[in-house]
Structure formats: structure tokens, C-alpha cells
Amino acid sequence: MLDAAVAVFSQRGYHAASMDDIAERAGISKPMVYAYLGAKEDVFLACVQREATRLMEGIAGVIDPARRPHDQLCAGLRAYLTCVGEHRDGWSVLYRQARVQEPFAGELAEIRGRMIEAVTALLGGVLNAEGPEVPAAEVSAMAHALVGAGESLADWLVDHPDESPEATAARLMNFIWMGAANLLRGHTWRPASQPSP
Amino acid sequence: MLDAAVAVFSQRGYHAASMDDIAERAGISKPMVYAYLGAKEDVFLACVQREATRLMEGIAGVIDPARRPHDQLCAGLRAYLTCVGEHRDGWSVLYRQARVQEPFAGELAEIRGRMIEAVTALLGGVLNAEGPEVPAAEVSAMAHALVGAGESLADWLVDHPDESPEATAARLMNFIWMGAANLLRGHTWRPASQPSP
């Protein structure tokens, strides 16, 4: 029944979706939907919670604290994009609808906060594994940039059904990681080396 | 009067902010606020439009189409973060409130769409200036990642009043650009080179 609801919310949007649509898609009567899940807002909240839990558990499932922070970060990113790619309707409900709608937006912001915390910890582990300690502000800024890039790319992935999640994860690793790898070697971008006409 | 309204919405949030707060902050009577700007929703919309216009014009003002795409992109990113840093209340209204609230969210999504278009065009120019053509999907994915990273970092900047926008722009350039520079030289990240235990 939740699968049917997620599909309907994803395709029609929260406001346009009706309990009739959900009942029809689930192949049950409307009173049954009310009986099991409650009103539309309750159904939507149940969808948000199911999809958010699936995403968080999908990531947590591949994070092995015994591995190097770098490997944990890569595995987490790949799991994140794979989960989004396999449940595009779920992403649409979370990111395109719940995130832009109170009272669901607060729940999403909290999940995002937890992701940033986890990424900050892993990134700190990666960056501090070699050489002098990277300032906490630098790590925190990078973690925010990485999470923002990941979300935006996940949203892009949803609109590109032919693209594999693995390829998208590799794109982000290329784009971000090769940059961080350079930083670790002390190579930084310098505005002065880019002459302006 | 809009400055007062932006400050109040930023500090109290859309729902908690009252017309009394706005009138008091602006140093005028409440009927005057209604007379000039209308009801709370109208005041908020006027704030959103003012802040969005300021941000877009701040960026457009530094983009000189005669310069190299790379320089345009750097200048645009710096202008974006500078504008956010100088108008933190405005960012808070746009990104933390309007973006998570219908009917304002649609307006914000449209602005974001235009930013992604502009970044895609510039990034395509940068990447295709040297060597073989980069596939359009690659450019599009990178543009989404870059815009997402920029937004997330702008939001981080708002919470770090001691951080300069220039330093934040340099962080993102370092993080992203050194990666892109490597890609241009054909150096890509390879999962295989990262042994897992």
C-alpha cells in the first residue's frame, strides 16, 4: 500500500494526489486506506518515513567502521546514489515534495543534519589520515559542499533513467575527490594563476 | 521597510513573524505596512523577489561574456557567495524559508533552474575549451553537483559570520576545480586503486 502511495505522490504531487488515486493504485477500497494509514497527511508522512529510513539504512548497511574513512565515504556515496536510483519515486517524495512542505520539511532537515555530521566525521578522518591536521572549519565546509553536491546529483540522476548510479557516483568522486586528493598534496587553486583579460 | 521585513522573517521565521514585528522594526504603524505592501504573504513575496533579484543581479553584474568561461564561472561564484555573505538575512529568507514553502518554493525552483542552465553553459565552455568534447551528460551532472555544492556552502557561510565569502569561494574552487583540472588532464578517480580490506 505504501508503494502505491509513494508512486501516486511522486507522479501527481502531494496536493493533487487523492486518496482515490492511492486506493485505485493499491487495488483496495478507499475506506481500507483510511483504516490502515489514516488521512492523506498521515499517508504522506508514512511514505516520507519509509523512504527516509530506507535511504539511511541503505547507507548505514555498507558503512563498516573497521574500514578506512576514505572507503567508508566512497561506499556510503555509492549506496546513497544506488538507493536513489532504485527508488526514484521515493526520492521524488522526499526531496521534491516533503522538503518543500511544512511540517515535513523539518524532518528532512534533521536527516540532512545527520548526514552532514556523518560526512564531516568521515571526511575529517580522510583528510587527517595524512599530513598536518586540516582545520575543522575547512572539513565542515567541505562536508557541506559534498552533501550539497550529492543531493543535487541524486536529483539529476532521478531525471536520467538511463544513467547508472555507479556511473553517477564515479562522476562525483572524480569531480570532488580528485580535488581533495590534490589538496592533500598541497596543490591548491590560485586565482592569481588565472589571468583575467 | 523591506529591510525590516527581511530581518524579521529571517529571525522569527515566516509563520512566527507578525505584521506587528515588521511595523515595529520598520518604525512605522501596522496600517502603513498593510497600505504599502499588503498582507503578510504579500510582504513575504516582496522580500523573496527583492532578495532573489539582488542575488541574480549581483551575479549577472560580474559576468562579462567577453571573458573566458573559466573566469566568468569563478567571478560568478565569488559574486554569489559575496552577495550571500553580505545579506545573510536575505539568504535565510530565500533558502531556509521560501524554498520550503509553497507557493514560494516554485519561484525558487525556477531561479535555481536558471542558475543551473547558466552554469551548464559556462562549464561546457570551460571543459570543451581544451581537448576532446566532454559529453553533455557529464557537463550537466557536473553543473548540478557544482550548484548543489555552492548552495550548501552558501548556507554554511551564513552560519559562519567570521568566514569571508572570498575564502569560502576559494574553498569551493579548491574542492571542485582542482578536480575538474585533473579531469581535463585525463586523471580520473579509480575505485580499483583504493583497496578495501
Cis peptide leading into residue B31 (ω within 30°): no
Does the beta carbon of B183 lie under 8 angstroms from any beta carbon of chain A?
Answer: yes
How close A26 comes to chain B (CA, Å)? 28
- Percent of chain B whose pLDDT exceeds 70: 86
How close A156 comes to chain B (CA, Å)? 7
Q: Specify the length of chain B in residues.
A: 197
Closest partner residue to B148 (CB to CB) among A102, A148, A183 is A148
Which element (helix H / strand E) includes B189? none
- Which residues of chain A lie closer than 8 angstroms to B100, CB-CB? 99-102, 105
Question: pTM of the full predicted structure?
Answer: 0.83
Instruction: State the number of CA atoms in the 13 A half-sphere of A113 facing the CB.
Output: 6
In chain B, residues 47-66 whose CB comes closer than 8 Å to chain A? 66
In chain B, residues 99-118 whose CB comes closer than 8 Å to chain A? 99-102, 105
Of A26, A24, A149, A127, the residue nearest A70 (C-alpha): A127
**For residues A179 and A189, what is the distance between their CA atoms, to the nearest angstrom?**
9
**Cell (9 digits) for B190:** 579509480
pLDDT value at position B185?
A: 57
Mean of the per-residue pLDDT values of chain B: 84
Q: Is the dihedral of CA A175, B52, A11, A45 positive or negative?
A: positive
In a domain, residue B52? The reply is: yes
A136-158 helix and B165-172 helix, angle to the nearest 10 degrees = 60
Of B24, B20, B18, B26, the residue nearest B2 (C-alpha): B26
Closest residue in A to B66 (Cα) is A197
- Which residues of chain A lie closer than 8 angstroms to B194, CB-CB? 70-71, 74
pLDDT tens column, A143-190: 898 899 999 999 999 999 888 888 888 878 776 665 555 555 555 555
Closest partner residue to B67 (CB to CB) among A156, A179, A196 is A196
Residue B62, SS3 per DSSP: coil
pLDDT value at position A24?
A: 94
pLDDT value at position A172?
A: 80
- Which residues of chain B lie closer than 8 angstroms to A155, CB-CB? 144, 148
CATH code, A101: 1.10.357.10
Higher pLDDT, B8 or A195: B8
A147 and A112 in contact (C-beta within 8 Å)?
yes
Compute the radius of gyration of chain A from its Cα atoms. 20
B171 and A138 in contact (C-beta within 8 Å)?
yes
A93 and A9 in contact (C-beta within 8 Å)?
yes
CB contact under 8 A, A183 and B178: yes
In a domain, residue B85? The reply is: yes
pLDDT tens column, B63-119: 898 998 878 888 898 999 999 999 999 999 988 888 878 788 888 888 899 999 998
- Which residues of chain B lie closer than 8 angstroms to A92, CB-CB? none
**For residues B184 and A9, what is the distance between their CA atoms, to the nearest angstrom?**
41
CB contact under 8 A, A141 and B153: yes
**For residues A142 and B174, what is the distance between their CA atoms, to the nearest angstrom?**
10
Closest partner residue to A194 (CB to CB) among B70, B138, B176 is B70
What is the rounded average pLDDT of the residues B181-186?
56
- Which residues of chain A lie closer than 8 angstroms to B155, CB-CB? 144, 148
Query: Which residues span the domain enclosing B143?
Result: 47-183
Q: Residue B193 pLDDT more than 70? A: no
Of A58, A187, A171, the residue nearest A111 (C-alpha): A58
How close B27 comes to chain A (CA, Å)? 31
Total Cβ atoms within 10 A of residue B110? 11
pLDDT value at position A51?
A: 92
pLDDT tens column, B153-168: 999 999 998 888 888 8
In a domain, residue B39? The reply is: no
In a domain, residue A6? The reply is: no
Domains contained in chain A, number: 1
- Which residues of chain A lie closer than 8 angstroms to B97, CB-CB? none
B48 and B104 in contact (C-beta within 8 Å)?
yes
Closest partner residue to B191 (CB to CB) among A74, A163, A176 is A74
Does the beta carbon of B184 lie under 8 angstroms from any beta carbon of chain A?
Answer: no
| Residue stretches of chain A with pLDDT short of 70 | 130-131, 175-197
Regarding an ipTM greater than 0.85, the answer is no
In a domain, residue B67? The reply is: yes
Of A110, A143, A149, the residue nearest B156 (C-alpha): A143
In a domain, residue B155? The reply is: yes
In a domain, residue A142? The reply is: yes
pLDDT value at position B46?
A: 92
Q: Which amino acid is at B85?
A: G
In a domain, residue B135? The reply is: yes
Does the beta carbon of A74 lie under 8 angstroms from any beta carbon of chain B?
Answer: yes
Closest residue in B to A150 (Cα) is B145
pLDDT value at position B107?
A: 84
**Cell (9 digits) for B132:** 576532446
